[in-house]
Structure 1
């Protein structure tokens, strides 16, 4: 075998390493085809009377590669944007179990199917003028979970999405003004666990300042809370009431019901 043939043989060997053969792939006319899109995963070339069959990307393989390249490009865009939001990003809750969850990992049940459809619609139609969302429900019903999925999906699309806890922001006393300014720059802000902020005049005042800073931008904001909408409407504390008025006036409300997802998962994991 001459040097050209040796080079081709090495290329073919590398192609077989790079491209995976799936169980549903099949052979037709001596060529491997993808079992999903029914297009070729092998090509036939003839060099100096010798036939070679290097692997190649099928149609769905090309689409997946292109999609991954776009996602990575969008992540790079978000990383650059987050440099302007460095102080705010220090408080970002999208890490650990909330970091890499997406629509395809959504744990669906009869109680959250409507919320899933709303989340998909919100993601697909997202713009800086989208109306926000308020997820209300008992502990463990998936409010933070579905909000994080929305955020992560938008990050894949090149949007800046940050999940925050008001107590954490209020405690950062050295950076209050800078945090208020950075709230206006993000494409999406999620205020998680609303209603757990300090029950003091100062706590309510600062919480209102953060919510209002986002409200006046008219950009979409998502809120999660254990409180019912009725509790928020009937709230008698003036400081809290004006905060809730801002929230209720700028969001579509989704009530999540049912048992705690964490309890359900714990039961499934219990092996004794």
Structure 2
């Protein structure tokens, strides 16, 4: 037992010299590169405990190597965390490319999306979401995806989905509706894409209400994208839609997405390229 303890003390207090290291005038081992000590003397009371008069110390070279190693480990841990968040948070892998860095700069509402991320702590504390509404192809989903990616890069969990997938999941769920909806509400930010495009059956509307109402009660932010007009949201056709839309508008201040149809523009660009290739 004593031998094992002595061996452990030897390992903790011994310093292994490199070829270029040398012993200084004070009797300590010095680094041959940075010329800083690799050893330090114990205080007299500590020396009596360990049976040695010195212990290892970091020279500048060792400190720099350790800090670089720790920084690399921290970067890798961050990348692994973000990768896991995006794998869990997006229902479509293509959404990973919906970032501010990939934005073409033509969407006038992009600055608002950037500011939302910049002020996320205040938005979260105040339970402030956002409703991106406008015509088809105006970049609503893309802006929501930019927000999701930017927050995930900050290691904030986000889940981006749509009610078509939610209703399918609920129909096939073995864990029960309440547990599934509770899981949605645990995310700091929930993004519902293409709101209003789901089936208008009585069952479908009831499930939509339960999700929206549960999120409302969780007091956590919600971002919604929709092709519905603000007038349609403010003046629903019946009570079933009214109780859903009222909660959405209370949680999500509306932002109108205007401008050209980005999908049409992309299709025209591809058509132009095809004509060019065929003419060649």
* TM norm structure 1: 0.66
CA RMSD of the aligned region, Å? Answer: 2.9
Displacement, 1:73? 3.5
Does the Cα contact within 8 Å between 2:117 and 2:151 map onto a contact in 1? yes
CA distance in 1, matches of 2:152, 2:90: 14
* TM norm structure 2: 0.65
Asked if 1:153 corresponds to 2:112, the answer is: no
Unaligned stretches of 5+ residues in structure 2: 1-18, 20-32, 34-70, 276-280
Does the Cα contact within 8 Å between 2:90 and 2:161 map onto a contact in 1? yes
Partner of 1:170: 167
- Between stretches 192-201 and 173-182, larger displacement belongs to 173-182
Measured at CA, do residues 261 and 70 of structure 1 come closer, stay the same or move farther in structure 2, by a change above 3 Å?
A: farther
CA distance in 2, matches of 1:261, 1:70: 39
Measured at CA, do residues 80 and 163 of structure 1 come closer, stay the same or move farther in structure 2, by a change above 3 Å?
A: closer
Displacement, 1:218? 1.4
Displacement, 1:238? 0.7
Asked if 1:117 corresponds to 2:118, the answer is: no
Partner of 1:263: 264
Does the Cα contact within 8 Å between 1:195 and 1:225 map onto a contact in 2? yes
Partner of 2:242: 241
CA distance in 1, matches of 2:234, 2:77: 43
CA distance in 1, matches of 2:94, 2:214: 28
Displacement, 1:77? 3.8
Partner of 1:208: 209
Displacement, 1:197? 1.4
CA distance in 1, matches of 2:257, 2:131: 10
Does the Cα contact within 8 Å between 1:103 and 1:149 map onto a contact in 2? yes
Alignment coverage as a number of residue pairs: 202
Does the Cα contact within 8 Å between 2:191 and 2:222 map onto a contact in 1? yes
Displacement, 1:94? 4.7
Show the 5 A alignment for 1:209-224.
209-224=210-225
Instruction: Give the secondary-structure state (helix, strand or coil) at the position aligned to 1:122.
Output: helix
| Bigger-Rg structure (1/2) | 2
The answer to which structure has the higher helix fraction is 2
Unaligned stretches of 5+ residues in structure 1: 5-44, 46-65
